[in-house]
Amino acid sequence: MPNIEYSELLCFGDSITVGDNFYFNTGIYIDTLESVAGCDSIVKLDIQVLDLVELTQEIYLCNGDSMLVGSNNYMLAGNYIDILQSISGCDSIVYTDLKLYDNPEINQEVFLCNGDAVQVGGSVYSNPGIYVDTLSTSYGCDSIVYTSLKFYDNPEINQEVYLCIGDTVQIGNSIYSTPGIYVDTLTTLYGCDSIVYTSLKFYDNPEINQEVYLCNGDTLYIGESLYISPGVYVDTLSSSFGCDSIINTNLILLETEKVYESTKICEGDSITHNLGIFFNPGTYTFLVEIENECNYEYTLHIELESEEICRTKNCKTYIPNIFSPNNDGINDIFQPFSEVVTFEKLMIFDRWGNRIYETKERDPFWNGKFQGNECIPGVYVYMIKGVCKNGDKINYANDITVIK
C-alpha cells in the first residue's frame, strides 16, 4: 500500500479537498484513498493556513498631491479600504486614513532700517514694496508668503540745549560740559541709527548787587530768608532757568520821618484836615500809613489867631470874576455881595490902567459899559473899598473878565 506525503499552504478562507474531505485549517491530515487500480493508498497532508494580512496606515499629503494604493489613486482626505494581493498570492486588506496638510498663505509686514535688507526664502529685498514668495513648509508643502516691506526713517535731530554753568548733559554714552556743537549717532526705539546734532549753550550764573531801603518795622524776604536789621546779606537763589544766582543785598533801615505843621484858627472856627476836623487849639500827633511808602509821624499844632486878624477874616465877601453883559437877563452886571460889608466905592480899569468906570453908590455895580458904549470882551481890573461891621476898612482888587 503506497504512502503519499505532501505539504500545502492555504490562504486564509481557502480550503483543499482530499477525497471526500475538504480542509481549511492548519494541521496534519491522513486520508486512505482508492487508486484507479482499486488499491488503497495512504495520503498524509501537512496544511499551513496563512494569516489574514490587515494593514492600517495614516498618510499625510500636501494639497494637490495624490497617492496610489493598489490600482486606486487618492487625493482627497478620507478613509479608504483596499484589498491587495500579497507575494504569497493571498489577499491583504489595507486601511488608509488620508489627511492633507494646508498650503498656508502668510501675510507679513516687515519694517527695516534704511540700508538693511530682508531674506525671504532664497530672495533678498532691500527696497520698500510688496513681494510674493513660494516656500516649502517643514512637511515639504508649498506656502505662499506675502511680504509688505517698509523702512523706518533714520531721523536727524537738531536740538538746542541750555545748561547752568557747572552742569553736564549726557547724549547716548557721551557727556558734555562745555559749550559747542556735538554730533552723536544713537539707536532709535526700532534699532535704527539716528543722528543727533546738539548745540550746547550755558546760562550765566548772575551775581546781583542791590541796595534796599526798608521802613522801620518792615521786613525783607529774599528767597526763604527774612531780614529786619540793616546789614549786608548774601543769598543764593534759583533763577527762572533753574541756575544759581548770587544776591548781594545792602539793607538800609529808614528812620520814621517826622512832619510838623502849625496853623491858627479864630475862636469858634474849625480846621478840616484829611486826618479829621479840629475845633480846639492844641498839639495833635498821628502815625500816618501810606501805601508803598514808609509811615511817618505827623504833628499838627493849632493856636488861636489874634482878634484883629480874625475880625478881618470874618468880613466875608463874594466878588464874581466873570460876567456877560448881553442883556439876556442872566449875569448881566458885575456886583460884589456881602452881609457884613458896606461898599463905599467901585472902580474899573482897562488892561492899560485907564479908569473907565467909578461909582460911590451904596450897592455899586457895573453894567460893562464905558461912556454908554459896550466894552469889548476881555480882562479888566476892579478895586472895591468898604467898611466891615466890625469897623475894619477893607480893600479888594482883582481881575474881572467880560464875555458876550
Summarize pLDDT for 243-281 with one digit per residue, the tens.
888 999 999 988 878 888 888 888 878 888 878 888 889
Torsion 386-387-393-399 (CA) sign: negative
Judgement on whether residues 88 and 111 belong to the same structural domain of the protein = no
Nearest to 252 by CA among 206, 223, 220: 220
DSSP state, residue 363: S
Q: Which residues of the chain have pLDDT under 70?
A: 1-2, 36, 308-309, 311-313
- Residue 357: give its domain's CATH number: 2.60.40.1220
Residue 74: how many other CB atoms lie within 10 Å: 16
* 44/111 Cα distance (integer angstroms): 85
Predicted local confidence at residue 309, as pLDDT = 64
Give, in degrees to the nearest 5, the angle at Cα 152 between 151 and 157.
145
Reading phi first (left if > 0) and then psi (alpha if -120 to 50, else beta), residue 218 is in beta
Per the confidence metrics, is the pTM higher than 0.75? no
Judgement on whether residues 295 and 280 belong to the same structural domain of the protein = yes
Residue 400: how many other CB atoms lie within 10 Å: 19
Residue 363 near residue 345 (C-beta atoms within 8 A):
no
**What pLDDT, in 10s, does the model give residues 87-130?**
778 888 999 999 998 888 999 999 999 889 999 999 999 999 99
Count Cβ atoms within 10 A of the Cβ of residue 38 and give its class: 0-12 exposed, 13-18 middle, 19 or more buried.
Answer: exposed
* 165/392 Cα distance (integer angstroms): 85
Here the cell at position 208 is: 546781583
How many helices (H) and strands (E) in the chain?
1, 37
Judgement on whether residues 379 and 345 belong to the same structural domain of the protein = yes
Judgement on whether residues 285 and 362 belong to the same structural domain of the protein = no
Judgement on whether residues 264 and 236 belong to the same structural domain of the protein = no
Nearest to 246 by CA among 233, 263, 228: 233
Predicted local confidence at residue 150, as pLDDT = 95
Reading phi first (left if > 0) and then psi (alpha if -120 to 50, else beta), residue 344 is in alpha
* 143/287 Cα distance (integer angstroms): 101
- Which range marks the domain in which residue 43 is found? 3-49
Judgement on whether residues 332 and 376 belong to the same structural domain of the protein = yes
Judgement on whether residues 319 and 398 belong to the same structural domain of the protein = yes
How many domains does one find in the chain? Answer: 7
Each as own residue / partner, the long-range contacts of residues 390-396 (CB below 8 Å, 24 or more positions apart, any chain) are 390/311, 390/314, 390/315, 390/340, 392/311, 392/312, 392/315, 394/312, 394/315, 394/317, 394/341, 396/317, 396/319, 396/336
Count Cβ atoms within 10 A of the Cβ of residue 361 and give its class: 0-12 exposed, 13-18 middle, 19 or more buried.
Answer: exposed
* 123/145 Cα distance (integer angstroms): 12
Last residue of a domain, one of 254, 272, 291: 254
Average pLDDT, the chain: 88
Here the cell at position 157 is: 535731530
Predicted local confidence at residue 312, as pLDDT = 58
* 389/398 Cα distance (integer angstroms): 23
